[in-house]
Amino acid sequence: MSQLRTLILQPAARLAELTATGEQVQAFLAQSALEESARHLLELGVVEALSNVMQYAFQTPEAQETASIRLLMADHGDYVEVVLSDNGEPIPAGALQNAPLFDSDPDASDLPSLPEGGFGLGIIAACADSVDYQSGPGGNHLTLIQRNG
């Protein structure tokens, strides 16, 4: 029976924390049994979600003062579960479900039209086998589950 392995991080709500937090996520996932591509994709999704929270969830000085971000990662052996919780502004309703699917090729002949951003939610939506987002009085909770194999 595999042993549960967990990582709990509480980064400050500022973008300067992103790289160090991402490195810890990467190191944790490197020890999981997830396939390489699944591991990279999950790491990417977690970083996108963290970046989103750090940049957009706490826009006012008051919100900054009471900001709380908590990242829980649990390696269950046959799957990895990630729960990102925060007490800031939620992702607008439906935005994650309606995120871009990357289902059409960009048009290289029209350089100015190429997107330089707006990929984040689409990546979060595509980064794991299961993606769930709940928002309420208890805060915002993004749960990602990536299974092994």
Q: Of residues 44, 63, 83, 145, which one binds other proteins by CB under 8 A? A: 44
Contacts of 68 (CB under 8 A, 6+ apart): 10, 13, 85, 86, 87, 139
Q: Of residues 112, 136, 138, 149, which one binds other proteins by CB under 8 A? A: 112
d(CA 17, CA 20): 6
Q: Of 14-33, which residues contact other proteins (CB under 8 A)?
A: 15-19, 22-23, 26
| 75/99 with CB nearer other proteins | 99
| 40/76 with CB nearer other proteins | 40
Q: Of residues 117, 136, 137, 149, which one binds other proteins by CB under 8 A? A: 117
Applying CB under 8 A, the span of 68-76, 89-97, 115-123, 136-144 interacting with other proteins comes to: 115-123
Largest CA distance in the chain: 55
Tokens of residue 37, six digits: 């591509």
Contacts of 87 (CB under 8 A, 6+ apart): 66, 67, 68, 139, 140
Under rule CB under 8 A, residue 120 binds other proteins = yes
Distance of CA 138 to the CA centre of its chain: 19
**Would you say how long the chain is, in residues?**
149
Binding site for other proteins (CB under 8 A): 15-19, 22-23, 26, 36-37, 40-41, 43-44, 47-48, 51, 54-55, 102, 104-108, 111-112, 114-117, 119-120, 122-123, 126
